């Protein structure tokens, strides 16, 4: 099937919305797969709404509750649209789990529903390039002298696996390779030889690209999509292949996370990892031998006399960065992150002074390297050609760091960005990262997403605050958008929340800022998980609070299996929680969304506090300040809406299937006593409610369950 890759205006063949919805009716083809099939009116309405958006080149912003069946509701129109109009559609998700669910389950179902048709479109899952093995880099690493024993063993296993794997992705490996090893052998866009590569015909990425050119539906995640869109904004254009082949329509699933994903691709960052990666490419010693590329470059450069200058510059650059790192950690002090506007001017000036020292040494290194590499003459010798190319890549990456530093020096002239330092944990301790992030992404999203594409569909179970889409639409640039029609719609969950869910809030809980609150949480959580016999997900907003409560629960309930985030890999924790029915999982931020535990294994969700963002977090503070400068209320226009979305995600962990039944307990009574608290309660489905003392709640849970 050939797809029209031109992006000029064209005339489309409209689809019949009722026909497509009919596939999912009681008399439709999907019903024939089941002994007992019950159509979902909200799903049928969503199919029609999405189909009309395709027909009218409109933007659709749709909230679809859990259980609506939104995947099939958008896949069926997407396949039919691609087939009728020979155009490509991108489906973008927020999580890898959903990507795999789509390609493994929902896409096959959609194709079965549509039946055998001539020229049936294909769907393809595409991951970020670094997820794929590079055969050339694998062979280079295999030939590297004196590999460490563990590294050599893993490498031998990967080399054997590479001969039989079809897709060459890290997730397809039967084991998880060491991160340091995978970095050496994965595919990189700026380290690709293209058709000049001796492994070009067997390259996993090139095979994927050929498949992508033939596929109608590309299933990606938000980060990969924004990498593509950033490339198009930077000059690749919309009619050519960038990271992805050209496409005409986007469907965002889990659309509530697109602002966060876009933020990383419109930001500039650097840390010691980016610096050391380039420096070790140039010069590193392994078991007494220099295995960097500088020596080979020097051997074929007519400016070989620069080698001592470069060696000296490398040493001084690393020393300058070490001094800058120490100052950056001092800049942050005891907090995890701070922006330039959150500290006294003298503190920022001291940091920038060391930034300039580092930039000065880095520029000396870059200038000398550029002359050495430009004057290299490898004379078609592959060994030296590879070294010169690797040196050029390292130089380009170092120049990117230098360019970002220039932005930092001009931070006062860039009010639309927040410049901030964050501390990251590493095996050797805390490491600072330097960030430049746009405060408001609305305009960027309008120009990168909503204007260029004919149809954009945004779907999630949590796009509204109360009854309004205004917060999400304002953050993403759609609130005052006039480029094309924007339609909104709500498609309610078919699950029986009023009958099957009990919502508790203890009225005798201390306020979260009361010093007695943590002790109350410890006691309450232990009593609540005991009464439900485990089967509980406990969600915190603070890891320190989590550790204290988890330790207390383990001491009080030694016979219960209590799992703690941070003590094992996330996926293994989830697997254990699902398989061991009576277990309890204590978790923080990343578990409030994107996890799916249907059935008895998750009977009770405990939300310790309303999930307000840390008010001092640099990006949040900058956005709050921008609202205040315009005369608004940052609490009501930012803090509360963000917390409501997160709260709804946490609440949504409980009901994952039609037969699920259980309890949600919120230990934060601000939802009852604060004026804004009603917004949280009104933003979730109607349930049974028990707003009473903890003792009464325990009795009520027992009556509800048993």
What distance in Å separates the CA atoms of residue 146 and residue 601, rounded to the nearest whole number? 49
How much is the pLDDT for 8? 54
Mean pLDDT score, 662-677: 97
Mean pLDDT score, 513-530: 97
How much is the pLDDT for 287? 63
**Chain segment 208-248, per-residue pLDDT in tens:** 999 999 999 999 999 999 999 988 888 888 888 889 999 99
Which range has highest mean pLDDT (186-200, 539-553, 580-594)?
539-553
SS3 505: strand
Distance from chain centroid for Cα 35 = 38
Mean pLDDT score, 160-183: 89
How much is the pLDDT for 286? 67
How much is the pLDDT for 1? 46
- Ordered by where they begin, the domains of the chain are 17-122+215-264+441-491 (3.40.50.300), 130-197 (no CATH), 267-438 (no CATH), 497-705 (3.40.50.300)
Specify whether the CB–CB gap between 619 and 416 falls below 8 A: no
Mean pLDDT score, 341-355: 96
How much is the pLDDT for 145? 62
**Which pLDDT band holds residue 146 (cuts at 50, 70, 90)?**
low
Q: In sequence order, what E strands does 65-151 have?
A: 89-93, 123-125
**Which pLDDT band holds residue 148 (cuts at 50, 70, 90)?**
low
When comparing pLDDT for 366 and 589, which is higher? 366
Beta-sheet strand order (sheet of 249-252): 123-125, 217-221, 89-93, 249-252, 455-460, 59-64, 486-491
**Which pLDDT band holds residue 501 (cuts at 50, 70, 90)?**
very high
Mean pLDDT score, 16-41: 93
Side-chain half-sphere CA neighbours of 31 within 13 A: 13
What percent of the chain is predicted at pLDDT more than 90? 78
How close are the terminal C-alpha atoms of the chain, in Å?
58
Distance from chain centroid for Cα 462 = 17
The whole-model pTM stands at 0.90
How much is the pLDDT for 235? 81
Strand pairing of 59-64 and 662-666? unpaired
pLDDT over 80 (residue 424): yes
SS3 661: coil
Which residues lie across from 490 on neighbouring strands?
A: 63
What does pLDDT average to over the chain? 92
How much is the pLDDT for 119? 84
How much is the pLDDT for 65? 94
What distance in Å separates the CA atoms of residue 163 and residue 138, rounded to the nearest whole number? 12
pLDDT over 80 (residue 567): yes
How much is the pLDDT for 147? 63
How much is the pLDDT for 5? 53
What distance in Å separates the CA atoms of residue 237 and residue 167, rounded to the nearest whole number? 28
**Chain segment 592-619, per-residue pLDDT in tens:** 987 888 888 999 999 999 999 999 999 9
pLDDT over 80 (residue 393): yes
What distance in Å separates the CA atoms of residue 476 and residue 449, rounded to the nearest whole number? 10
DSSP characters for 425-438? EETTEEEEEEEEEE
Mean pLDDT score, 403-415: 95
What distance in Å separates the CA atoms of residue 388 and residue 374, rounded to the nearest whole number? 9
What percent of the chain is predicted at pLDDT more than 70? 97
Mean pLDDT score, 254-282: 92
How much is the pLDDT for 230? 86
Distance from chain centroid for Cα 214 = 27
How much is the pLDDT for 233? 85
Interacting residues of 521 by C-beta distance below 8 A, sequence separation 6+: 545, 549, 608, 667
- In the numeric block, the tokens 């602002």 are attached to 259
């Amino acid at each position: 099937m050939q797809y029209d890759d031109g992006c000029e205006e064209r005339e489309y063949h409209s689809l019949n919305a009722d026909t497509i919805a009919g596939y999912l009716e009681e008399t439709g083809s999907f019903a024939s797969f089941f002994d007992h099939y019950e159509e979902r009116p909200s799903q049928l309405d969503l199919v029609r709404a999405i189909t009309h958006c395709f027909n009218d080149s409109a933007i659709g912003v749709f909230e679809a509750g859990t259980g609506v069946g939104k995947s099939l509701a958008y896949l069926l129109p997407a396949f039919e649209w691609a087939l009728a109009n020979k155009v490509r559609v991108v489906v973008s998700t927020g999580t890898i789990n959903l990507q795999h669910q789509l390609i493994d389950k929902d896409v096959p179902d959609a194709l079965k529903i549509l039946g055998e048709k001539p020229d049936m479109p294909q769907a393809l899952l595409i991951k970020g390039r670094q997820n794929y093995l590079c055969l050339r880099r694998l062979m280079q690493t295999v030939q590297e002298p004196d590999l460490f024993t563990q590294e050599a063993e893993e490498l031998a296993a990967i080399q054997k696996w590479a001969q039989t794997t079809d897709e060459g992705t890290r997730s397809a490996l039967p084991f998880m390779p060491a991160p340091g090893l995978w970095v050496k052998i994965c595919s990189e866009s700026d380290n690709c030889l293209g058709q000049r590569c001796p492994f070009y015909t067997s390259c996993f990425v090139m095979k994927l690209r050929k498949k992508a050119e033939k596929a109608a539906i590309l299933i990606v995640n938000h980060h990969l999509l924004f990498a593509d869109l950033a490339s198009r904004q930077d000059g690749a254009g919309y009619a050519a292949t960038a990271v992805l082949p050209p496409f005409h329509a986007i469907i965002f699933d889990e659309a509530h996370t697109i602002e966060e994903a876009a933020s990383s691709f419109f930001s500039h960052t650097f840390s010691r990892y980016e610096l050391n990666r380039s420096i070790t490419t140039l010069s590193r010693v392994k078991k007494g031998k220099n295995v960097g590329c500088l020596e080979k470059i020097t051997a074929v450069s007519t400016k070989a006399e620069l080698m001592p200058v470069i060696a000296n510059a490398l040493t001084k650059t690393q020393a300058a960065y070490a001094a800058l790192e120490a100052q950056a950690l001092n800049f942050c002090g005891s907090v995890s992150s701070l922006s330039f506007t959150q500290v006294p001017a003298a503190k920022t000036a001291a940091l920038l002074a060391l930034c300039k020292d580092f930039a000065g040494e880095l520029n000396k290194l870059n200038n000398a390297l550029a002359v050495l590499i430009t004057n290299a003459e490898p004379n078609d010798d592959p060994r030296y050609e590879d070294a010169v190319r690797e040196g050029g890549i390292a130089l380009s990456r170092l120049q990117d760091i230098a360019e970002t530093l220039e932005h930092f020096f001009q931070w006062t002239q860039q009010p639309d960005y927040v410049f901030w330092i964050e501390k990251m944990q590493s095996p050797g301790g805390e490491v600072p990262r330097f960030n430049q992030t746009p405060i408001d992404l609305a305009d960027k999203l309008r120009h990168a997403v909503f204007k260029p594409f004919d149809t954009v569909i945004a779907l999630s179970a949590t796009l509204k605050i109360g009854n309004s889409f205004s917060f999400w639409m304002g953050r993403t640039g759609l609130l005052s958008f006039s480029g094309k029609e924007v339609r909104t719609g709500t498609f309610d969950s078919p699950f029986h929340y009023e009958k099957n869910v009990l919502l508790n809030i203890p009225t005798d809980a201390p306020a979260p800022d009361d010093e007695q609150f943590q002790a109350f949480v410890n006691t309450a959580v232990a009593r609540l998980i005991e009464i439900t016999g485990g089967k509980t997900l406990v969600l915190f907003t603070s890891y320190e609070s989590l550790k204290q409560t988890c330790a207390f629960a383990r001491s009080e309930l030694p016979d219960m299996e209590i799992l703690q985030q941070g003590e094992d890999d996330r996926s293994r924790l989830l697997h254990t929680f699902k398989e061991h029915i009576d277990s309890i999982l204590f978790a923080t931020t990343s578990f409030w969304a994107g996890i799916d535990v249907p059935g008895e294994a998750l009977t009770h969700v405990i939300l310790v506090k309303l999930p307000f963002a840390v008010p001092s977090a640099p990006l949040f503070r900058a956005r709050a300040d921008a609202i205040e400068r315009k005369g608004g209320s940052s609490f009501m226009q930012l803090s509360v809406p963000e917390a409501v979305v997160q709260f709804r995600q946490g609440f949504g962990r409980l009901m994952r299937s039609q037969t699920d039944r259980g309890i949600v307990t919120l230990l934060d009574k601000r939802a009852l006593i604060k004026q804004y608290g009603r917004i949280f309660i009104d933003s979730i489905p109607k349930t049974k409610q028990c707003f009473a003392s903890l003792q009464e709640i325990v009795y009520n849970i027992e009556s509800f369950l048993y």
